[in-house]
Amino acid sequence: MKNKSLISINDFTKQEQIKILDVAEEFEKNPKQNILHDYVIASLFFEPSTRTRISFESAINRLGGKIVGFTDESTSSVKKGESLRDTIRVVSNYSDLIIMRHHNEGSARFASEVASVPVINAGDGANQHPTQTLLDLYSIRKTQGTLENLDIAFAGDLKYGRTVHSLVIALCNCNCNFHLISPVELKLPSSVKMYIKEKNLKYYQYTDINEAIPKVDILYMTRIQKERFTDPMEYEKVKSSYSLKNNMLYNSKDNLKILHPLPRVNEIDEDVDSSPKAYYFQQALNGVFVRQALISLILGLKK
Amino acid sequence: MKNGRTKEELVVSAIDNGTVIDHIPSKSVFQVIKILNLEKTENQFYFGTNLTSKKYGNKGIVKVRNKFFEIEEIDKISLVAPIATIITIKDFKVIKKKNVHIPDHVVKFVKCFNPNCITNHQNITTKFDVISKDKLKLKCCYCEKITTKKNMDFI
């Protein structure tokens, strides 16, 4: 994995993904290791992001690394009209690794072609966000003890949610069953279902979340965005029916864990937070360990 | 040469030396001209649309004088004219006839249909993997979205 860029979750084999999870486990036990003290990491956020950026920065800081870069395009040379090609070439000279988020799809892949150092994609438009997928896999494995043969439900916006797409694709390597809960207008795209079909795995589609809850090991909730609907009435209707409340969990499996990429708005009621089945805040913390693992493996500091 | 040629085909002048691209769907003739960059050529070229074809009923044709194309150049037109025949002419004689093939990778001349793709915002050469040839589907190597024949546009 040394010197390899991570742009799309499929860039790494299942074995490589598992390796990252194993190393992340080590970091969870011992998060403060001063292995990056000689390294400079560039963090280029052409599009602002709070959670992902802070999680990366926290991972780098806990490893003793230095961060250079910008948190917003308006404070960078891009504002002066510099091309992405030039920005990346220049930053390559200043750093050992580039972490970038950009609003255009495909920007991270392009950056990895022109950069002389590896690139980690921290989100390129609606396309890919592979470190989110890794932390989701880590959270699933940690709570279930395995990634194999699980029943996984995805609820909410399955059409536009890139985290859902990448995670479904990654879990297709693990013989899982998929329970897809969404309003009709926000069903999982056929391009993603194609991966499930290719592996001859089973998927079930629901519009009623209550129907799926008793059957699954993982319930992955996502936010439904108002702008996805042409009819505001339709949104209001859907919004309330995809809001998870604690009393809806009464007949769920004991091992069920609820995940959410966050930020949540109203799709998980706060009364769920105190349930032992709520795992979304721990999931966010896992992001730090996974990013520590990924960075150290790419820089060849862990084997 | 004259044997077997229909009167309609003669509507488009014969050339002494060069390349004839035959069996182009009529509606794709202008796309072929664009893809081969003939708009800028200084060579003489002739074209015809809605000609009668024994095999296909209706066809278009392009003839370019003193021009012999590279395979890569000619394979590009397979995206809009998958059954085109490329005929090399020397001294009014047919020297070579070959069909076009849809390539596995398409670089440079197709535009990614995704408006938010980085290739539509920066000066970047487009690149696609051809993931289906029967029902033409090009997967952008950058944004990973699939451009189909229906929404294909040329640079």
Higher-confidence residue of B5 and B125: namely: B125
> Which band of pLDDT confidence, cut at 50, 70 and 90, is reported for residue B2?
very low
**Within a domain: B1:** no
**Within a domain: B2:** no
Pick the last residue of a domain from B59, B84, B99. B99
Across B5-9, B122-126, B132-136, which has the greatest mean pLDDT?
B122-126
Tell me: pLDDT of B11 over 90. no
How many separate domains does chain B show? Answer: 2
Work out the mean pLDDT of chain B and round it to a whole number.
88
Tell me: pLDDT of A109 over 80. yes
Residue B69 DSSP class = -
Task: Decide: B98 and A59 in contact? Cβ < 8 Å.
Answer: no
Strands A66-70, A40-45: pairing is: parallel
Tell me: pLDDT of A25 over 90. yes
> Does the predicted TM-score (pTM) go above 0.90?
no
Which residue has tokens 């862990």?
A302
Domain of residue B20, residue span: 7-99
The residue of A44, A73, A85, A110 whose CB has the most chain B CBs within 10 angstroms, and thus the best one to mutate to test that interface, is: A110
B143 contacts on A by Cβ (under 8 Å): 104-106, 124-125, 127
Mean pLDDT of A185-196: 91
Question: Do B117 and B145 belong to one domain?
Answer: yes
Pick the last residue of a domain from B99, B120, B139. B99
Question: Do B64 and B14 belong to one domain?
Answer: yes
Length of chain A, in residues: 303
A106–B146 CB contact, under 8 Å: no
Task: Give Rg (Cα) of chain B.
Answer: 17
Task: Give Rg (Cα) of chain A.
Answer: 19
Question: Do B73 and B19 belong to one domain?
Answer: yes
CA distance B151 to B155: 13
Q: Please, which residues 187-226 of chain A have a Cβ atom closer than 8 Å to chain B?
A: 191
Question: Do B73 and B121 belong to one domain?
Answer: no
**Domains in chain A and their CATH numbers?**
9-128+287-298 (3.40.50.1370), 131-284 (3.40.50.1370)
Question: Do B95 and B110 belong to one domain?
Answer: no
**Nearest CA-CA distance, residue A201 and chain B, Å:** 22
Question: Do B84 and B37 belong to one domain?
Answer: yes
Task: Decide: B103 and B82 in contact? Cβ < 8 Å.
Answer: no
**Nearest CA-CA distance, residue A237 and chain B, Å:** 30
> What pLDDT digit, counting tens, does each position of A53-84 carry?
999 999 999 999 999 999 988 877 777 889 99
Write the ipTM.
Answer: 0.89
User: Which residue in A has a C-alpha nearest to residue B124's C-alpha?
Assistant: A110
> What pLDDT digit, counting tens, does each position of A192-227 carry?
999 999 999 999 999 999 999 999 999 999 998 877
**Nearest CA-CA distance, residue A114 and chain B, Å:** 11
Q: Residue B31: give its domain's CATH number.
A: 3.30.70.140
